[in-house]
């Protein structure tokens, strides 16, 4: 057999290739769950929801979902500096999990039958209710008052469609890319109401720049059980996250996170739901 002569250049190229293979790893949601070996874990959150998932001007992240995700990641073996938070908008959450962009999603992700066909859910970890955010001097007091009004929500969210289908069929539905855009529309008067979960609305109403401008209508138009989305079929991760959530509730960290993130808005939260009890 004829041996091929290996040049210095080709040997160097081989070393570089092997090094890249060893260090690159899997660039999907994370490497082995719970490894804690210096790998990163990618977690999907919202970037524009004060009190839940917000990217601050300095690049840090805050909110209840962020605190829950950080606690869960810790129980899976990852320190805070090993977490890479990835923005996952409502319309792209299922795709982000299917593509492996993130390991799990904690992003006001309400559990329902349609979504459960595409992803698996751990939790629920918070029970919210659909409500309306309106101007402080608005006369909108119930869902039927939205007939003939401009109603805003976010593309991919079920909230506005629920109102239009079941409560106010003559509402003019506007779907924008983010809740902050809806709030800006409410402030300018181009929309009359923003509908989504009361936890999200409370976060916006409590922001300093909006102080005194808005109010929650106080309606409980639906039950929204927030779950942590996981790639379909990843039962092992679902079970580990459920264990982490149960620990978060039992050791008092859940109550602390609620108080820290929702307390300033006078949000009347429901007690922690039973983990693993998926009620749609």
pTM for this prediction? 0.75
Q: Which two tokens stand for residue 32?
A: 């082995």
* DSSP letter, residue 3: P
Map tokens 């081989």 to a residue.
Answer: 14
Contact 50, 204 (CB under 8 A): yes
Q: Find, among 177, 162, 44, the residue nearest to 109 by Cα.
A: 44
For 112, 158, 198, 221, the CA distances from 162, given in Å and listed in that order, are: 13, 6, 15, 9
Q: Which of 194, 183, 126 lies closest to 157 in space, CA to CA?
A: 194
How far apart are the two ends of the chain, measured CA to CA in Å? 68
For every one of its 280 residues, what pLDDT tens digit does the chain have, with 9 covering 90 and above? Answer: 443 444 444 444 433 343 433 333 344 465 444 444 569 999 999 998 899 999 999 999 999 999 999 999 999 999 999 999 999 998 899 999 999 999 999 999 999 999 999 999 999 999 999 999 999 999 999 999 999 999 998 887 777 778 888 899 999 999 998 888 999 999 999 999 999 889 989 888 888 888 889 988 888 888 889 999 999 999 999 999 999 999 999 999 999 999 888 876 667 889 999 998 765 4
């Amino acid at each position: 057999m004829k041996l091929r002569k290996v040049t210095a250049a080709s040997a160097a190229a081989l070393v570089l290739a092997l090094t890249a293979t060893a260090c690159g790893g899997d660039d999907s949601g994370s490497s082995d769950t719970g490894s804690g070996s210096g790998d990163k874990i990618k977690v999907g959150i919202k970037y524009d929801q004060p009190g839940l998932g917000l990217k601050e001007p300095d690049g840090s992240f805050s909110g209840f979902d962020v605190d829950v995700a950080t606690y869960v990641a810790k129980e899976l073996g990852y320190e805070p500096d090993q977490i890479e938070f990835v923005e996952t908008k409502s319309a792209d959450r299922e795709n982000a999990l299917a593509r492996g962009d993130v390991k799990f999603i904690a992003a006001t992700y309400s559990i329902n039958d349609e979504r459960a066909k595409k992803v698996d859910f751990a939790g629920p970890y918070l029970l919210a209710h659909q409500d309306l955010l309106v101007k402080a001097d608005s006369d909108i007091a119930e869902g039927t008052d939205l007939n003939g009004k401009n109603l805003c929500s976010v593309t991919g969210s079920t909230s506005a469609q629920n109102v239009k289908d079941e409560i106010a069929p003559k509402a003019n539905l506007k779907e924008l890319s983010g809740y902050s855009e809806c709030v800006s529309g409410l402030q300018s008067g181009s929309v009359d109401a923003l509908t989504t979960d009361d936890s999200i609305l409370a976060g916006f109403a409590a922001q300093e720049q909006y102080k005194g401008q808005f109010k929650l209508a106080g309606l409980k138009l639906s039950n929204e059980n927030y779950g942590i989305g996981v790639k379909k079929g990843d039962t092992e991760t679902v079970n580990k996250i459920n264990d982490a959530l149960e620990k978060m509730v039992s050791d008092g960290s859940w109550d602390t996170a609620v108080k820290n993130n929702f307390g300033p808005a006078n949000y009347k939260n429901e007690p922690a739901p039973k983990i693993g009890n998926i009620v749609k």
